[in-house]
Chain A
Amino acid sequence: MSYSTFNQEQNNPLTEPMFLGNSVNVARYDQQKHSIFEKLIEKQISFFWRPEEIDVSRDRIDFNKLTASEKHVFISNLKYQTLLDSIQGRSPNIALLPIVSLPELETWIETWSFFETIHSRSYTHILRNLFSDPSEVFEDIVINEQIKIRANDISKYYDDLIFYTQLLQTHGEGDIVVDGKTYTVTQREIKKKLFLCINSVNALEAIRFYVSFACTFAFAERELMEGNAKIIKLIARDENVHLTSTQHILNLWQYGEDDPEMKEIAEELRGDAYEIFMTAVKQEKQWAHYLFKDGSMIGLNESMLCQYVEYIANLRMQAIGFDAPFENQRSNPLPWMNKYLVSDNVQVAPQESEITSYLVGQIDSEVNASDLGDFDL
């Protein structure tokens, strides 16, 4: 019952379910039950990038020109994204690794979480450039009521799964009393918590990020905060890969291509999964309201953002087998978003294109001879 870092039981990973079968022993990829996860690992690694490679120094000048309400939009979004990636940089590892049963999926989870840590480090890179002391921004993340509401809704499904897994792995199934409270732990109950958790993560990566992405790219459309936009473009590309992975997990369960019990649970909890998504939609609209409480920005206002949330929710929910809930929002209210969401592929020579990773130290390299006036060898 307790977790072993090297399960000595001889098992066949080709017949294991994705989660809650035997724990993985040999990290082998010569045979795979769901080879898609190794393909996602390869895709994700091919997108490797480092925040330090992106020059954000010009953003400081732009930032000082923003109006107070635009500064609120920009900083609030960075705080929210910092929260989301703080959660995502650890939670798939802590919640899912103890219960994963396929080597290719285990390695995907580790790869996924690692990229979230790149995202987290990139926010510090952006903020360090804007403020000599960014600590006030970071400190507000655990105080700000608007962010706390969202943090709670995102982390509660992870936390619940983690706690019940800990009970299962220390006590086994049964009624377990902790601090005077009785918890009924069964494998099926944990599978239900896992199902809800994956739906919540799916909704997070499917739509929660997109209100702030839209604001970032709206600034970039005005040629403002472009260093930041380059970073967010890379983050958005990674997020699309993550999203695909949870869509795969949900669809594999739903179609009965993995654990038959998870197929039953997917049917049983279909309404809850729908609600998780719709709650995320509602919260993101409230976030749009909070962002624009002091005024809109050129090219973007609260109602356009809310329409975009509905538009994107339609696409994302259809991907996991729901009907589009927002029938009158079938066309894209922010068509310029797409050009930032296209994956920069390797087809163009980097120096000729906008490939972000190539644009290193642009400002620093603009040095005049006069700058070196007093310089002697």
Chain B
Amino acid sequence: MMISLTIDDRQIQVAGGTSLLKACLDSGIYIPHICFMEESDRSPASCRLCWVEIEGHSWPVTACTVTIDHPIAVKTDTPAVRHLQRSALQLLLSVHRVECKKCPANRQCVLQNIARFLEVGLKPGRLQRRLKEPDVDGSHPYLDHYPNRCVLCGKCIRVCRNHDNRTALTFAGRGFHTVIRSFGRFDSDTVACDSCRACVEICPVGALVIREA
């Protein structure tokens, strides 16, 4: 069943059951987002960027968690929406080593794109920058992980199916110290991380890179 939505000043028709974020993106309406993946059925809603205001709700909601089942009117550009988006971006930047020139994601980086869209610099505002130690985690046989680039969107975990059809990446630690980590056995004959590269390709910020031999 098609449902009609009002997004800002546009009318769009979407199939019932889609998420609001996907509906907008499919219609060429950009909403900042990092952790959302089209293929997975339930968005983790962890990056907290895809805020929108829906008529009748007093406070912004994340578009990835709204399932379209009736017509709604949506605003993507209100002061409250932008405030939360900028605040979330600043938080991410406050734990990010901003050295774009040295980063393989330079020019395709989601943080750069969102900052440009929100018309802010790559700066954490009034927050002090806090980085993790060590800067590189080289415990994986093929991959280097850069926790100070990582935005913990978890996409790498969700695409990795390389180990008996199970993911070999996980979140580890808690709070500020949460990181992505690999676990399990990595025998070169059973694991083909160097040829798969799914996690490296999906990483939106260049936090996972194949280690140069």
A is bound by B: no
- Which B positions have Cβ atoms within 8 angstroms of A? none
